[in-house]
Structure 1
Amino acid sequence: MTLETKKSVFVELGNFLSQFSEEKSEKKSAVLYNEIFFDDFEKLIHLSQSHNGWYTPEQVYFAINSWAEALTEENIDKWLSKYVTEFNQADHKEKTVALILAGNIPLVGFHDFLSVLITGNKALIKTSSNDQHLLPFLAKYLIAVDENLNDKITFVEGKLQNFDTVIATGSNNTSRYFEYYFKDKPSIIRKNRNSAAVLSGKETHEQLEALGEDIFRYFGLGCRNVSKLFVPKGYTFDAFFQAIFKYQDVIHYEKYANNYDYNKAVFLMSNFKLLDNGFLTLKEDPSYASPISSVFYEFYENIDDLKARLEADSEQIQCIVSGDLIQNSIPFGQTQNPQLWDYADNVDTITFLLTTK
């Protein structure tokens, strides 16, 4: 398969995904193989919550829409244009890449899957027990579009065998196992990371409302979800709480509510001082990883000192949100809308796949 052919296959997948919406899914006559896949995918979306209680239709639709927007010819061309030299110089010996995927949010491993196939390699995939259905379904659609992909995609349930390189995503604990087990293979091993927001105290209501999206999307389970706030000394959270009130319905979701009650009780029994609005607790804490339904915060006095702190802690941070206070930060409300060229842990997967022997 040529690169252009592989691009076109994923553009077709983007066209397929673009039909699905929480408001109203619409079958389009120009989309390939709708008669086989459309109705079954709509059913799978609504069954996803029975497979993983956090995968509500709203969250699954959001993930699907994000990938539909990403998988356009324009976006794929822009993404891959950086690698013209690498594609031309790459050793064209096909590699089998073992993918060990996370399952914290819907389709979280899709970028790795896409990267392996677009670089002309085979994907040997071990899905998370929390996300075993969405990616295999989309793989079947891709194979229907181009049957040459049939021998490029393999899902395994048991032990991974006969592979050349590894991309594995897990916790800090599992990463130690991965690093030992795959020590003789070229690899990308991802650990726990969290995201933070830096506030100046001058944010508009709209910016703070958008920050709520960064906090509550996927119930805060993603590494790109904001779990830590840095606020100027003397900051009061009144405007913040007013702005995020629109997300109050999250407390009506039982799994989230159970986490809210449990984590709040643990904090209170430990005599921690909390700020609480009935569906989110704020706790002053130097850590980045807050539990579900809670966000940690710290005060800062000097923005330059904070920048140095963030740089020193970069390996704990996935992304930073701010209103241009921090270089290369993400605008409010955009953490869960990464572009194809926004790599997890800032590790360029395409370069890795094209240059690793």
Structure 2
Amino acid sequence: MQLQQRINAFAQLGTFLNQFRENIPVKDESLSLNDIFYEKMEACITTAHMQNSWFTPDNLAFTFKAWGGILTKQNLEKWYSIYNIEDIKPKTVATIMAGNIPLVGFHDFLSVLLTGHYIKAKLSSNDKVLLPFLAEILKEIHPSFIDRIQFTEEKLENFDAVIATGSNNTATHFEYYFGKYPNIIRKNRNSVAILTGEETKIELELLANDIFRYFGLGCRNISKIFIPQDYNFDPFFNAMYTWKGIINNHKYINNYDYNKAIYLMSNIKLLDNEFMLLKEDSGYSSPISVVFYEYYDNKEALEKKLVSEKENIQAVVSKIGFKNEIPFGKAQTPSLWEYADGVDTLEFLSQL
């Protein structure tokens, strides 16, 4: 199977996913894949939501919109162009995937297959239906994928390299079991935003998207904000109200009520807008419905702090001028070449 064939297959998959970019899909009658997969995709979406109520129709549509927009022939060719992946000798890559947000393991899935390797994937119990269904579409597009894609619930065996994503605790086990293989092992990370107090209303509303999308469960969700000493929280809270509807999700509001009760019983000072909590904290990993905040004195000192603690940080949203900062509202739509934990997956796979 040639590289261009793999690119074309994923680009076709992107076109198919674009139909589901809104809560009410818009069917493209010109797509032949719809004859087999359109109604099955609708059923898959329903099943994914039933199995994991965090996977709401709105969040699933956002996921399909993101991947449908990224998976174009132009993007895929731009992505691989700097790597030598034309004549790779195929290896089997065991891939252990998280399940915190829909299709969180798709980038690894794409990377392994695009580089010409075989994938042996172990899925999270929280996200078991979406990726296997997309794999079936790829197999229909090009039958060569049939032998290249395997999902397993058994002990991983007979592989040449590992990509594993999990918590800090599971990463310790991954390193023990898979340390002798070429590997990428990812741990907990969180994303932060740096505010100056000069952000516009629109920018703060975009920041709200970065905070609340996927209920804050993703590593690219903003779990902490850095603010200047004299920061006025009123514009921030006003912008957060664009997501006030999140209170209607019973799992989210249960987390809000629980965390608020725990903090209040511990006499911890909070800022509260009735659906999110702000807590002053030096940590990065905030609970669902909670955003940590920390004051900073100057840009230079903050930049040094974030560099020294980069192992805890996935992305930085800001317009302050930091290296590799992300614009407001873009945290959940990374480009293909924006790698998790800053580890170049395609470079790793091209060297196997």
TM above 0.5, yes or no, is: yes
TM interval, short-chain normalised: over 0.9
Taking the TM superposition and a 5 Å limit, the aligned residue runs for 1:69-148 are 69-83=69-83, 86-88=84-86, 92-148=88-144
Q: Does 1:29 align with 2:5?
A: no
* 8 Å Cα contact 1:12-1:31 kept in structure 2: no
Q: Which position in structure 2 is the counterpart of 1:299?
A: 295
Q: What does residue 190 of structure 2 align with?
A: 194
Q: Does 1:256 align with 2:255?
A: no
Corresponding position of 1:64: 64
- Cα distance per residue 1:207-233 (max 9 Å; x no partner): 111100000000000000000000001
Q: For residue 188 of structure 1, what is the amino acid of its counterpart? A: I
Q: What residue is the counterpart of 2:278 in the other structure?
A: 282
Conserved? CA contact 2:22–2:65, under 8 Å: no
Deviation beyond 2 Å, 4+ runs, structure 1: 21-24
Rounded to whole Å, the distance in 2 between the matches of 1:178 and 1:287 is: 24
TM-score by length of 2: 0.98
Number of matched residues?
A: 352
TM-score under structure 1 length normalisation: 0.97
**Alpha-carbon distance change, 157 to 23 in structure 1, aligned in 2, over 3 angstroms:** closer
What is the DSSP-based 3-state SS (H/G/I as helix, E as strand, rest coil) of the residue aligned with 1:296? strand
**Which one of 228, 241, 257 corresponds to residue 232 of structure 1?**
228
8 Å CA contact 1:172–1:192 kept in 2: the answer is: yes
Q: Distance in 2 between matches of 1:70 and 1:218?
A: 19
Aligned residues with identical type, % of pairs:
53
Would you say the 8 A contact 1:3–1:118 is kept in 2?
yes
- 2:212–2:221 CA contact under 8 A, matched in 1: yes
Task: Identify the match of residue 269 of structure 1 among 261, 265, 269.
Answer: 265
**1:171-211 superposed Cα distances (whole Å, 9 cap, x missing partner):** 00000000000021110000000000000110011111110
Amino acid at match of 2:2: T
Counterpart Cα distance in 1 of 2:100 and 2:219: 9
Question: Unaligned 5+ residue runs, structure 2?
Answer: none
Structure 2 letter corresponding to 1:46? T
Offset of residue 23 of structure 1: 4.4
Matched AA of 2:120? L
CA distance in 2, matches of 1:153, 1:199: 44
Q: Is 1:48–1:57's contact at 8 Å kept on the other side of the alignment? A: no
Question: Equivalent residue for 2:322?
Answer: 326
Once residues 113 and 243 of structure 2 are traced to their aligned partners in structure 1, the CA distance between those partners, rounded to angstroms, is 38
**Which residue pairs with 2:344 in the alignment?**
348
> CA separation in 1, counterparts of 2:77 and 2:30?
22
Task: Give the root-mean-square deviation of aligned CA atoms.
Answer: 1.0
Residue 14 in structure 1 maps to residue 14 in structure 2: yes
In 2, are the aligned partners of 1:45 and 1:61 still within 8 Å (CA)?
A: no
| Matched ranges for 1:45-56 at <5 A | 45-56=45-56
Q: Deviations over 1:59-91 (max 9, x none)?
A: 0111011000000111111111121xx225x6x
Q: Distance in 1 between matches of 2:208 and 2:33?
A: 38
Contact 1:208 1:240 in 2 (8 A): yes
Q: Aligned partner of 1:295: which letter?
A: V
Q: CA deviation at 1:30?
A: 2.6
Q: CA-to-partner distance for each residue in 1:106-147, whole Å, 9 max, x for gaps? A: 000000000000000000010000000000000000000000
What residue ranges of structure 1 are gaps of 5+ in the alignment? none
